[in-house]
């Protein structure tokens, strides 16, 4: 063997030994990055409170009730019609209590009433609500709270203007006094409410 080969072989063995030793020394260390902790799950959003409100139409939006808080006056514009197929005549398009007029206690009520039904006479009377709708108009609940000719009715095209004081709290009918008309459904409700601050109209679903 060539004497010069031995030192080269020994140097190669030494280098290999150092590489292996270094690799073993570093083998216990992790070369991967630490995994960050996951964010906590977000709390669910609180549900919005579910609320319901009664449908109340303001007087101004309907156009046939004007409330004047300064003078404490409620002015109604009322028209009687009888569309084809309707079971009764209508007051401003409503019947059988579908509209309720609410007036504060002590207010003055005025109405401008007109019969636009070409086929039949009609009238209007304010009466105290009882168990049954009356067959015809009777004594009004408030002084002057009725049209002329309450039971005979006013012919088509005739008008009536009435003013009365709503001086007693309670529930009333605004009904036609012609015999049989109110029973058919020609009536709305009037509520004189001591808690009300202004006049308004509340609507019920039409049937």
Asked if residues 156 and 118 have their Cβ atoms less than 8 Å apart, the reply is yes
Examine residue 37 and state whether it is found in any structural domain, yes or no.
Answer: no
The answer to whether residue 113 is domain-embedded is: yes
The residues with which 146 forms a beta bridge, in sequence order, are 125
pLDDT of residue 62: 79
pTM higher than 0.85, yes or no? no
pLDDT band at 139 (very low <50, low <70, confident <90, very high): very high
Domain assignment present for 44: no
Q: Tell me, what's the pLDDT at 17? A: 57
DSSP for the chain, written as a single string: --TTHHHHHHHHHHHHHHHHHHHHHTTTS--SPPPPPPPPPPPPPPPPPP-----EE-HHHHSSEEEETTTTEEEEEEEEE--TT-SS-EETTB-TTSEEEEEETT-EEEEEEEE--TT--B--EEEE--SS--SS--S-SSTT-B-SSTTT-B-TT-EEEEEEE--S-EEEEEE--STTHHHHT-EEEEEEETT-SS-EEEE----
What is the average pLDDT across 145-155? 98
Residue 6 lies in a domain: no
> Confidence band (pLDDT; 50, 70, 90) for 119?
very high
Range of the domain at 182: 56-203
Is 12 inside a domain boundary? no
Domain count, the chain: 1
- Whether residue 154 contacts residue 123, with contact meaning beta carbons closer than 8 Å, is answered with yes
Could you tell me what percent of the chain has a pLDDT over 70?
70
**Mean of the pLDDT values across residues 163-184?**
98
Instruction: Kindly give the pairing relationship between strand 99-104 and strand 187-193.
Output: parallel
Q: What is the pLDDT of residue 16?
A: 55
Say whether pLDDT at 118 is over 60. Answer: yes
Q: pLDDT value at position 61?
A: 53
Backbone angles phi, psi at 10, to 5 degrees: -65, -35
Beta carbons of 92 and 203 less than 8 angstroms apart: no
Domain membership flag for residue 1: no
Is residue 95 situated within a structural domain? yes
Question: What confidence tens digit (pLDDT) does each residue in 9-20 have?
Answer: 555 565 555 555
Look at residue 38 and tell me if it is in a domain.
Answer: no
| Cβ contact 163:110 at 8 Å | yes
What is the tens place of the pLDDT at every residue in 22-77? 554 454 444 444 444 455 444 433 333 343 334 544 444 579 999 999 999 999 99
* Lowest mean pLDDT across 55-64, 94-103, 135-144: 55-64
Q: What is the CATH number of the domain that holds 89?
A: 2.60.40.420
Strand-pair partners of 109? 74, 164
């Amino acid at each position: 063997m060539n004497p010069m080969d031995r030192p080269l072989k020994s140097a190669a063995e030494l280098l290999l030994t150092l590489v292996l030793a270094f690799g073993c020394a570093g083998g216990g260390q992790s070369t991967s990055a630490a995994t960050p902790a996951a964010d906590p799950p977000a709390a669910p959003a609180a549900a919005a409170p579910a609320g319901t409100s009664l449908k109340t139409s303001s007087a101004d939006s309907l156009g046939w009730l004007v409330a004047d808080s300064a003078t404490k006056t409620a002015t109604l514009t009322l028209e009687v019609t009888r569309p084809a197929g309707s079971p009764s005549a209508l007051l401003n398009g409503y019947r059988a209590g579908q509209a309720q007029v609410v007036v504060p206690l002590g207010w003055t009520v005025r109405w401008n009433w007109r019969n636009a039904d070409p086929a039949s006479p009609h009238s209007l009377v304010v009466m105290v609500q009882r168990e049954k709708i009356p067959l015809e108009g009777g004594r009004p609940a408030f002084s002057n709270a009725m049209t002329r000719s309450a039971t005979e009715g006013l012919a088509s095209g005739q008008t009536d203007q009435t003013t009365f004081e709503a001086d007693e709290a309670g529930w009333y009918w605004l009904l036609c006094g012609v015999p049989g008309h109110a029973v058919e459904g020609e009536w709305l409700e009037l509520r004189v409410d001591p808690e009300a601050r202004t006049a308004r109209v509340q609507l019920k679903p039409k049937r």
